[in-house]
């Protein structure tokens, strides 16, 4: 094994293997199909699948679909797609559904009843809560606790057969009403609920509770290490109780770790749903959100998300990671892999008055100066170009080295140009900048007779592809924090800027959905997968080039 420091979960697994408790490591990711996955789930997916890979074991994706109220097939499909994307691939032989075990769970419950370890209880939900007691006070036994095994078997079967109203009877584990751990005070393990299940339809009118179902799911799948988040720590004694009482060969072990939180980022389902319903964002995959679908649409890569999860570490201590770290990871991932191209976001015409009319020349431009293996491309150049408005000033501020009357700059990958004149409209807005070029100064010609301080990018007006570019900021107003006093989200009014008169190199007309590029000086961008068409291309800014993240 590697000598790098191992996380606490690896230490536990190492010991289980060393001491012979485990031969083949089996992990699982168990989402409830009641919503879209987000960056927090990515942590669980990467952790569990990573451990299986590291130990030459197996990773299961299991839909924890035991509570039909909010579960839908739509979510199953999106989860399958997201897990496949994060992991690179997904072995469909290791995709399971908890609902496939309903018969077996029923058998386990019958087994408990026969052992005198479970009973049917007629108390209402409120009464059960009342009898349960508090942290300071032990609970009281239910008056139904001493029903005979025969009576319990009969009642439980009739619960299953639909003889009782929803909520009128439950099956409870018979453990200890005075346990200091409230989860052990005869927890409910089955309830009557007439709900249609997205896979089993109306076959069942009783459904198992999470704390009973989950250890059974893990046990039957041969899961060895059942990794979950910290809020389940004090459910572990119940998990172990179920594992022991059902008495099957496999004895999975639950391990808890701290959830991933992002500073100033909304991950809660409830809040995202509200943003979607209020029309503030364009669905669950709006590029400003951190659902996996949104991160993908924004242009993040699985590699960048994996790097982020690794940097954020695995521990039992609650902490919050910075979105700037995620941005750092995508810059690192794309830096050497993506072509660097020119795009003008806020165009103004640059006319080279001494360049021949109706002539286009094709300049050889390196695709990525830091990675020569990426080769080069031909970029058209002509008499009329677009440059970004901020690269020209009538009256330059101090230390401004870009274009202004009389100044000479380099047009990136092309020639030196000197500004000779400009044209404004009646409001004083610059509509054209005029300049002359010096043919001697062509990029790559070795010209070094004089130097210029500024280099600006451009695109050739005649051949450019017009497009829309979307810039994003945090959906949350960071100055004020995520939530207002009334619990609503502090929405940043500038979270989306749409620029609809942008120009990019013609080569970009061939780009497909989700293809990504560096636009020099502007950042990394990708083709929007929802709104971009051949006729009207739309690019999302993934991240700017400047980093606020300190490693
Ligand atoms: P949410 O309410 O945010 O959707 P959840 O816990 O209800 O989260 P599940 O579908 O039950 O979502 O979760 C599937 C798995 O993902 C669980 O093992 C859970 O512990 C894990 N998980 C959920 N959120 C995070 C997070 N922020 N960081 C790490 N793991 C997480
Ligand atoms: Mg969930
Ligand atoms: Mg949950």
ipTM of the shown complex: 0.95
**What mean pLDDT comes out for the span 104-112?**
98
Q: Which residues line ligand 1 (CB under 6 A)?
A: 30-32, 35, 40-41, 43-44, 228-229, 259-260, 269
Binned at pLDDT 50, 70 and 90, residue 1 comes out as very low
**What mean pLDDT comes out for the span 160-185?**
97
369 CB-side CA count, 13 A: 8
Is the Cα dihedral 120, 125, 127, 131 positive or negative? positive
Give distance in angstroms: CA of 189 to centre of ligand 1. 22
Give distance in angstroms: CA of 123 to centre of ligand 3. 26
pLDDT at residue 546 in the model: 86
Does the pTM exceed 0.90? Answer: yes
Contact 221, 104 (CB under 8 A): no
Task: Decide if pLDDT at 310 tops 60.
Answer: yes
Closest ligand 1 atom to 259 CA: 28
- Number of Cβ within 10 Å of residue 439's Cβ equals 11
Q: How far apart are CA 348 and CA 504, in angstroms?
A: 13
Closest ligand 1 atom to 44 CA: 30
pLDDT at residue 551 in the model: 58
- Enter the CATH code of domain 340-543: 2.40.240.10
Q: Which CATH superfamily is domain 8-257 in?
A: HUPs (3.40.50.620)
Q: Calculate what percentage of the chain has a pLDDT beyond 90.
A: 91
**What mean pLDDT comes out for the span 174-196?**
97
User: Facing residues of 410 across strands?
Assistant: 416, 455
Residue with CA nearest ligand 1 atom 22: 41
Q: Which of 41, 51, 209, 233 to mutate to test the pocket of ligand 1 (most atoms within 8 A of CB)?
A: 41
Give distance in angstroms: CA of 34 to centre of ligand 3. 9
Task: Decide if pLDDT at 159 tops 60.
Answer: yes
- Residue-wise pLDDT for 382-433, tens only, equals 999 999 999 999 999 999 999 999 999 999 999 999 999 999 999 999 999 9
Task: Decide if pLDDT at 503 tops 50.
Answer: yes
- Residue-wise pLDDT for 223-280, tens only, equals 999 999 999 999 999 999 999 999 999 999 999 999 999 988 988 888 888 899 999 9
What is the fold of 262-335? 1.10.1160
Average pLDDT, the chain: 95
Give distance in angstroms: CA of 231 to centre of ligand 3. 10
Residue with CA nearest ligand 1 atom 13: 31
Give distance in angstroms: CA of 349 to centre of ligand 2. 51
Q: Which of 32, 34, 40, 80 to mutate to test the pocket of ligand 1 (most atoms within 8 A of CB)?
A: 40
Residue with CA nearest ligand 1 atom 10: 31
Q: How far apart are CA 123 and CA 128, in angstroms?
A: 6
pLDDT at residue 550 in the model: 65
Burial status of residue 375 (CB atoms within 10 A of its CB: 0-12, 13-18, 19 or more): exposed
Task: Decide if pLDDT at 319 tops 90.
Answer: no
Higher pLDDT, 3 or 123: 123
Residue by residue, DSSP assigns 5-44 as: PPPHHHHHHHHHHHTTS-SS-EEEE---SSS--BHHHHHH
Would you tell me the crossing angle of helices 210-221 and 102-114 to the nearest 10 degrees?
A: 110
Q: Do domains 262-335 and 340-543 have the same CATH topology?
A: no
Higher pLDDT, 3 or 28: 28
Give distance in angstroms: CA of 33 to centre of ligand 3. 10
Closest ligand 1 atom to 43 CA: 29
Give distance in angstroms: CA of 23 to centre of ligand 3. 29
Phi-psi region of 295 (alpha: psi -120 to 50; beta: other; left: phi over 0): alpha
The full set of domain ranges for the chain reads 8-257, 262-335, 340-543
Closest CA to 518 of 260, 330, 383, 302: 330
Structure tokens at 350: 């640059």
**What mean pLDDT comes out for the span 354-378?**
97
Residue with CA nearest ligand 1 atom 26: 40
Structure tokens at 67: 């509570």
Residue with CA nearest ligand 1 atom 25: 40
Is the Cα dihedral 390, 393, 395, 397 positive or negative? positive
């Amino acid at each position: 094994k590697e000598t790098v420091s191992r996380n606490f979960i690896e230490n536990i697994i190492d010991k289980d293997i060393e001491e012979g408790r485990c031969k083949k490591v089996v992990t699982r990711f168990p989402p409830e199909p009641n919503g879209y996955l987000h960056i927090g789930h990515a942590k669980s997916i990467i952790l569990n699948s990573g451990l299986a890979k590291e130990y030459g074991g197996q990773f299961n994706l299991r839909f924890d679909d035991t509570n039909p109220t909010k579960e839908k097939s739509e979510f199953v499909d999106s989860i399958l797609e997201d897990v496949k994307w994060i992991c690179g691939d997904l072995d469909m032989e290791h995709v399971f559904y908890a609902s496939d075990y309903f018969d077996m769970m029923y058998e386990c419950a019958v087994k408990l009843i026969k052992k005198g370890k479970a009973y049917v209880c007629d108390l209402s939900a409120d009464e059960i809560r009342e009898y349960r007691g508090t942290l300071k006070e032990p609970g009281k036994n239910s008056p139904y606790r001493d029903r005979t095994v025969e009576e319990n078997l009969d009642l439980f079967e009739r619960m299953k057969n639909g003889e009782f109203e929803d909520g009128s009877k439950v099956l409870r584990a018979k453990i200890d009403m005075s346990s200091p751990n409230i989860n052990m005070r005869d927890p409910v393990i089955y309830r009557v609920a007439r709900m249609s299940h997205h896979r089993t339809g109306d076959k069942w009118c009783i459904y198992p509770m999470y704390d009973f179902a989950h250890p059974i799911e893990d046990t039957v799948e041969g899961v060895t290490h059942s990794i979950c988040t910290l809020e389940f720590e004090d459910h572990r004694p119940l998990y172990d109780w179920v594992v022991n009482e059902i008495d099957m060969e496999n004895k999975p072990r639950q391990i808890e770790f701290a959830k991933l939180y992002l500073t100033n980022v909304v991950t809660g389902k409830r809040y995202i749903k509200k943003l979607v319903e209020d029309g503030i964002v364009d669905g669950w995959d709006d590029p400003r959100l951190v659902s996996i679908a949104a991160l993908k649409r924004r242009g993040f890569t699985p590699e960048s998300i994996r790097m982020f999860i690794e940097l954020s570490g695995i521990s039992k201590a609650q902490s919050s990671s910075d979105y700037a770290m995620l941005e750092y990871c995508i810059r690192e991932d794309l830096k050497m892999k993506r072509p660097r191209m020119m795009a003008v976001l806020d165009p103004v015409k640059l006319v080279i008055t001494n360049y021949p009319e109706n002539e286009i020349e094709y300049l050889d431009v390196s695709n990525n100066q830091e990675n020569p293996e990426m080769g080069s491309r031909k970029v058209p150049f002509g008499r009329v170009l677009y440059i970004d408005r901020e690269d020209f000033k009538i009256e330059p501020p101090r230390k401004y080295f870009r274009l202004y009357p009389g100044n000479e700059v380099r047009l990136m990958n092309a020639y030196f140009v000197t500004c000779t004149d400009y044209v404004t409209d009646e409001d004083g807005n610059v509509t054209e900048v005029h300049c002359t070029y010096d043919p001697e100064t062509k990029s790559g010609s070795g010209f070094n007779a004089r130097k210029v301080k500024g280099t600006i990018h451009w695109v050739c007006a005649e051949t450019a592809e017009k497009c829309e570019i979307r810039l994003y900021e945090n959906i949350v107003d960071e100055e004020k924090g995520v939530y207002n006093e009334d619990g609503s989200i502090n929405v940043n009014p500038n979270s989306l800027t749409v620029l609809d008169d942008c120009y990019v190199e013609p080569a970009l007309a061939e780009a497909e959905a989700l293809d990504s590029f560096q636009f020099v000086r502007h950042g990394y961008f990708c083709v929007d997968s929802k709104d971009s068409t051949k006729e009207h291309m739309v690019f999302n800014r993934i991240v700017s080039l400047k980093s606020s993240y300190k490693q």
